[in-house]
Chain A
Amino acid sequence: MFQVHGLSKTYGKPPLVALDAVDLTIPTGSLFGLLGPNGAGKTTLLSILVGLVGKTAGEVHFDGQAVAGRLAAMRRQIGFVPQDFAFYPSLSGRENLRFFAAAAGVPRAQRNTRIDACAQITGLNEHLDKPAARYSGGMKRRLNLAIGLLHQPRVLCLDEPTVGIDAHSRRFILDRIVELNRQGITVIYTSHYLEEVEQICDHLAVIDGGRIVLQGPMQQLLQRMHSGKLQVRFAAAPPASSLAQLQQQGFVATDAGGRNLALHTPDAPAALAALGSIAGLAGLHIERCHYGAGNLEEAYLQLLRGNASTVEHE
Chain B
Amino acid sequence: MSKITALVSKELRLLSRDWQGLAVLFILPAIFILIMSIAMQEAFGERQAVRIDYLLIVPTTTEVSGEFVRALREHPVFRPQLVTAAELPASTSSDEQAYAITVRLADDFARRLPLSDRGAGEPPLLTVVLAPTVKPYVRELLYATLRQAAVKARVQQLFGTALPPGMQDLDAIGAVSVQTRYGIAAPGATLTAGRPEDTIAPPTAVQQNVPAWLIFAMFFVIVPLSTTFLSEKQQGTFLRLQLLNISPLQSLLAKLVPYYAINLLQLLLMVAVGRYLVPLLGGDRLNWPSSFVGLFLIASAVSFAAIGFALLIATLARTSTQATTLGGVFNIIFGAVGGIMVPKFVMPPVMQRIADVSPMSWALEGYLDVFLRHAPWSAVVPESLALLGFGGAMLLLALLLFTRAY
Q: How far is the CA of A75 from the CA of B239 in the complex (A)?
A: 12
Q: How far is the CA of A151 from the CA of B239 in the complex (A)?
A: 16
Q: Are B2 and A102 in contact (CB under 8 A)?
A: yes
* A99 in complex: contacting residue of B10, B234, B245, CB < 8 Å: B10
Q: Are A86 and B7 in contact (CB under 8 A)?
A: no
Is A78's CB within 8 Å of the partner chain B? yes
Is B5's CB within 8 Å of the partner chain A? yes
CB neighbours of B5 from chain A (8 A): 102
Which residue of chain A is the closest to B250 with respect to CB atoms? A103
Chain B interface mostly: helix
Which residue of chain B is the closest to A148 with respect to CB atoms? B240
Which residue of chain B is the closest to A47 with respect to CB atoms? B239
Would you list which residues of chain A between 102 and 118 have a CB under 8 Å from chain B?
102-105, 108
Q: Are B240 and A100 in contact (CB under 8 A)?
A: yes
Which residue of chain B is the closest to A50 with respect to CB atoms? B243
CB neighbours of A102 from chain B (8 A): 2-3, 5-6
With A76-B245, A91-B13 as known contacts, state yes or no: A52 contacts B6, CB within 8 Å.
Answer: no
Is B350's CB within 8 Å of the partner chain A? no
Which residue of chain A is the closest to B2 with respect to CB atoms? A102
Is B180's CB within 8 Å of the partner chain A? no
Which residue of chain A is the closest to B245 with respect to CB atoms? A72
Is B9's CB within 8 Å of the partner chain A? yes
Q: Are A86 and B13 in contact (CB under 8 A)?
A: no
CB neighbours of A100 from chain B (8 A): 240, 244
Q: Are B10 and A80 in contact (CB under 8 A)?
A: no
Q: How far is the CA of A259 from the CA of B141 in the complex (A)?
A: 117
Q: How far is the CA of A283 from the CA of B240 in the complex (A)?
A: 66
CB neighbours of B6 from chain A (8 A): 99, 102-103
Closest 8 CB pairs of A and B: A102-B6, A86-B236, A90-B17, A84-B236, A82-B236, A86-B240, A99-B10, A86-B237
B281 to chain A, nearest CB (A): 35
Report, as a range, how many residues of chain B touch the other chain: 20 to 34
Q: Are A95 and B244 in contact (CB under 8 A)?
A: no
Q: Are B235 and A85 in contact (CB under 8 A)?
A: yes
Would you list which residues of chain B between 186 and 242 have a CB under 8 Å from chain A?
234-237, 239-242
Most buried by A among B3, B7, B239, B245: B245
Some 7 contacts from A to B, beta carbons below 8 A apart, are A51-B243, A84-B236, A86-B239, A87-B237, A90-B17, A105-B3, A108-B2
Would you list which residues of chain B between 234 and 265 have a CB under 8 Å from chain A?
234-237, 239-246
Q: How far is the CA of A87 from the CA of B244 in the complex (A)?
A: 13
A92 to chain B, nearest CB (A): 9
With A99-B6, A102-B6 as known contacts, state yes or no: A147 contacts B14, CB within 8 Å.
Answer: no
A75 to chain B, nearest CB (A): 5
Is A193's CB within 8 Å of the partner chain B? no
Q: Give A contacts to B, CB under 8 Å.
A: 50-52, 72, 75-76, 78, 80, 82-88, 90-91, 95, 99-100, 102-105, 108, 147, 151
Q: Are B244 and A82 in contact (CB under 8 A)?
A: no
With A75-B243, A75-B245, A105-B244 as known contacts, state yes or no: A84 contacts B3, CB within 8 Å.
Answer: no
Q: How far is the CA of A147 from the CA of B18 in the complex (A)?
A: 23
Q: Are A82 and B13 in contact (CB under 8 A)?
A: no
Q: Are B14 and A103 in contact (CB under 8 A)?
A: no
Q: Are A90 and B2 in contact (CB under 8 A)?
A: no
Q: How far is the CA of A85 from the CA of B235 in the complex (A)?
A: 6
Q: Are B243 and A91 in contact (CB under 8 A)?
A: no
Would you list which residues of chain B between 1 and 35 have a CB under 8 Å from chain A?
2-3, 5-7, 9-10, 13-14, 17-18
CB neighbours of B242 from chain A (8 A): 52
Q: How far is the CA of A102 from the CA of B245 in the complex (A)?
A: 12
Q: Are A147 and B240 in contact (CB under 8 A)?
A: yes
CB neighbours of A103 from chain B (8 A): 3, 6-7, 241, 244, 246
CB neighbours of A90 from chain B (8 A): 13-14, 17-18
CB neighbours of A85 from chain B (8 A): 235
A285 to chain B, nearest CB (A): 58
CB neighbours of A50 from chain B (8 A): 243
With A75-B245, A85-B235, A108-B2 as known contacts, state yes or no: A91 contacts B240, CB within 8 Å.
Answer: no
Q: How far is the CA of A102 from the CA of B7 in the complex (A)?
A: 9
Q: Are A99 and B9 in contact (CB under 8 A)?
A: yes
Which residue of chain B is the closest to A89 with respect to CB atoms? B231
CB neighbours of B240 from chain A (8 A): 80, 82, 86, 100, 147
CB neighbours of B13 from chain A (8 A): 90-91, 95
With A82-B239, A86-B237, A103-B3 as known contacts, state yes or no: A75 contacts B244, CB within 8 Å.
Answer: yes
Q: How far is the CA of A147 from the CA of B241 in the complex (A)?
A: 11
Q: How far is the CA of A75 from the CA of B242 in the complex (A)?
A: 9
